[in-house]
Amino acid sequence: MAATDQDYRRILIVDDSEAIHEDFRKVLAASERVSALASMEAELFGSAAASRPRTIGFEVHSAFQGRDAYEMVRAAQAAGTPFAVAFVDMRMPPGWDGLETIQRLWEVDPALEVVICTAYSDHSWGKIIETLGQTDRLLILKKPFQADEARQLALALTTKRRLNAEAQARRDELEQAVSERTAELAQRNAELQRVDEARAEHARVLTVLLEYSNKLAQCERVEDAVRYTLRFAAMLTHCRRVSVMVPDGTGRKLYIAGAIGIDERVQRQVVVPVGDGIAGSVFAAGSSFVVNNPGEYVPRKDHYESEFFASVPLVSRALVSSEHTVGVLNLTERDGNQPFTPREIETIDVIGNMAASALDDILARRARDEARDTIVSALATLVECRDGNTGKHLERVTGYSLLLAEALRGTEIDGGQITADFLEDLRRAVPLHDIGKVGIPDSILLKPGPLTPEEMAVMKRHTLIGEAAVRSMIEQAPTTRFLHMALEIASGHHERFDGTGYPRGIPGRKIPLSARIASLADVYDALTTVRVYKPALPHQQVLGMIAEGSGKQFDPVVVQAFLERAAEFEHLATTLADADTAPPLAHDDAEDAIVQRLRASNGILAG
């Protein structure tokens, strides 16, 4: 409620003389003086003041000692009805004098206007200023004073107090408005900052998800896709324990394909029946299970112990009609033990969808590869059967090739090193090394005796026939990586390091590494097994013959790898021996048989 003039007409007289108090009451509180007061106020403050409704006089209160005045001012302040002006006598024995009284009054009401009532013999103005300080709240009324002089001071000072109070109220309102506006701006700034932070976090998440997507696109193995899924899921959800579970071959149980924050021994032991427990139920139902409120879920002995966790199905939706679950992603042990935010739950779903798509794609590619490998293997086996060999020849040559490649791994060769991809391609490509024999007539392929030069020329064509066959496969499946290596092996496994091999006489390191490896593996198997044109030779004899061929028929580096793994070659030859393999000939007889074959084949040990 707005203050009125009357609210600021309260005057306190502080004097030890009753007569002085009576004089002030006559001057300031007499109702017959209202018109005179109005005239004086109009002269001092203009017509606006004169036009306001008039009150009758001032509200005059008396205090005969400084301490009494102090108590009255303090009580008035507490009640919200402060005095506007105090007329204070300088001498008021036996208590405080006027200066001390004023000091005490200003302690409780700093805005109080004060008029010092003093005689010429009292303190000097300098002494007063020295004691009270320079202030605009202090005037002096010399004794004896005139009634009009007292009334003018009272009117001027009460009006000043009112105007000051109104100005202070306006300042307070303005400060309040500024404070509220500042708080509003601060709140909006905080909201904008939260929005900016949310946008920045959203951008970060999208960037990380894009990186995750790129990593998944490069994965060719389930293990790699699982590893990236664990890494990025932990990064984006701030979980210290993350696992991916996939079904076993039966589809009835889940096992841990990879995990972060779980001991490897525990990982190997965990098996969850589909439909049982959290992960098994999530897999079976194809729907997520998220606990995000403390006390929402009471774990069993074999369940999660964390207050917050999420288990989401990895559902492949490549084709809506064939939607199926390929695994489960489990996340728990949040940093700070905080619940998942709504955005994090959305992110988990996105990760699950991306992982499911990648895993499904890898599994589909693996199924296609396995089907293709089966067809290729069957084709290669049929070719070998025409040659009088069993399918174990392919197994042995492939195994020998992998032994050599493993021995060379970590060695700088042909400007690079053997990688896991090289080994995988070699495993799939070697069985096709003699696929060209399908074009060789049985009369030559199965001839038990020496070949004539004309027949040998026909036999050598199997490398070019095989090259053409594999090239036609590549035209049908240009992105199938191992076929390119199969092309190298089919055409180059009869080339010699000294450049005297066939079909093109390519020398040294110009022969692809895969062909140089397969060449030695094929020769070892040809010498240690029974063929239509020769008996099997003992391992030690073959060891010496291959060592002798280093730098001539074989790459010396590959020969060295063979010598290092010779014991493993012998073990593999025994393990994969053909059932009808005749025992190796004695050294002399074997030598005679092999010499005959060498003479007939222009020095080529294996056909």
CATH number of 5-171: 3.40.50.2300
Long-range interactions of 453-456: CB distance < 8 A, separation 24+ = 456/600, 456/601, 456/602
| Closest by Cα among 226, 498, 231, 239 to 362 | 226
Q: Which uninterrupted H or E stretch holds 399?
A: helix 392-408
Q: Show the low-confidence residues of the chain (pLDDT under 50).
A: 1-2, 32-34, 52-56, 301-302, 320-321, 582-607
The predicted pLDDT at position 36 comes to 54
CATH topology of domain 387-600: Hypothetical protein af1432 (1.10.3210)
SS3 call for 94: coil
pLDDT reported for residue 320:
46
Task: Report pLDDT digits (tens) over 303-360.
Answer: 556 678 899 999 887 654 467 889 999 999 888 888 888 888 888 899 989 988 888 8
Per-residue pLDDT at 330: 94
Measure the CA–CA gap between 142 and 150, rounded to whole angstroms. 10
Q: For residues 270 and 258, is the Cβ–Cβ distance under 8 A? A: no
At 604, which amino acid appears?
A: I
Instruction: Report the distance separating Cα 401 and Cα 408, nearest Å.
Output: 11
Reported as a single tens digit per residue, the pLDDT across 272-315 is: 999 998 999 999 998 888 888 766 655 554 455 667 889 999 98
Cβ burial of 94 (10 Å; 0-12, 13-18, 19+) is: exposed
Pairing outcome for strands 271-273 and 253-260: antiparallel
What pLDDT was estimated at residue 122? 63
Where do the structural domains in the chain lie, given as residue ranges? 5-171, 219-362, 387-600
- What is the spatial distance between Cα 161 and Cα 73, in angstroms, rounded to a whole number? 15
Q: Where are the alpha helices (DSSP H) in 387-505?
A: 392-408, 420-429, 442-445, 453-460, 462-476, 481-492
Q: Give how far Cα 136 sits from Cα of 12, 111, 113, 132, Å.
A: 18, 10, 8, 11
Which residue is associated with the tokens 């600021």? 8
Encoding tokens for residue 118? 């003093």
For residues 605 and 527, the answer to whether their CB atoms sit within 8 Å is yes
Same fold: 5-171 with 219-362: no
Please give the C-alpha separations between residue 443 and each of 16, 451, 534, 603, in angstroms, as whole numbers: 150, 10, 17, 21
Q: How many CA atoms lie within 13 A of 235 on its CB side?
A: 16
Output DSSP code: residue 450. P
Q: How far apart are CA 35 and CA 57, in angstroms?
A: 10
Backbone angles phi and psi of 334, in degrees to 5? -70, 145
According to the model, what pLDDT value does residue 343 have?
Answer: 87
For the chain, the straight-line distance linking the first and the last C-alpha, in angstroms and rounded, comes to 116
CATH superfamily of 219-362: GAF domain (3.30.450.40)
